[in-house]
Homo-oligomer: A and B are copies of this chain.
Amino acid sequence: MRISELSRASGVPTATIKYYLREGLLHSGELTSATQAQYDDGHVARLRLIRALIGPARLSITTAKSVLAAIDAPEGPVLERLGRASMAVSGGEAEAEPAAARELVDQLGWQVEPGSPALVDLEAALTAIDEAQLLLITGGVRRYAELVQRLTVAEMGTVPTETPEAAVRQAVLGTILIEPLLIALRRLALQDAAIRRFGKQHS
């Protein structure tokens, strides 16, 4: 198909498609003349993927590019690819090992690579909760950790093993696309819980 047909099939404007082509997020079509290229269903699927990454997951073009590169990377065992992709999502290796976060993951028995950027995020979250003197639910941070872990074990179970490409794609998209889902569901559930607790009709 031509670029105009690709635009119709994917719902992405032609100018945006050209931008993705220039930035290297989308692979070129097959040139049929000096000014025309042919695109296929692979391009439609890729555009869907790009839209998913920079839409609700709100990744920057640069981060989306690294994530796509990690998905595309043609070599290495699955675990290594997952590591590279997760680094790309989180924005690079951490410099210092955050003490409170490391203590927590060790207590939980989680295997976490030194230098994981999410450890720095966890440390910042723990510090903020502490500084704001937020009242936590019974069980505290560990209760969140245990619930999250139950989910992630199930989530990792959905990762297909036929090809490393499919495995990395599912793991990376699972990481990225479920985050906005959880945040949106939590905000709505909090709204419901607030109405139930403080609303006029206590139900």
Given contacts A137-B157, A156-B194, A170-B135, contact A128 B175 (CB under 8 A): no
Closest to A132 in B: B52
Mask, A161-182, CB within 8 Å of B = 1, is 0000001001101110111111
- What band does the interface of chain A fall in when counting residues whose beta carbon is under 8 Å from B? 35 or more
Using a CB–CB distance below 8 Å, which chain A residues touch chain B?
A: 48-49, 51-52, 55-57, 77-79, 82-83, 86, 89-90, 101, 105, 110-113, 116, 118-119, 121-122, 124-129, 131-132, 134-138, 141, 144-145, 147-160, 167, 170-171, 173-175, 177-199
Q: Number of copies of this chain in the oligomer?
A: 2
Closest to A193 in B: B156
Closest to A161 in B: B198
CB atoms of B184 and A55 under 8 A apart: no
CB atoms of B187 and A118 under 8 A apart: yes
CB atoms of A189 and B128 under 8 A apart: no
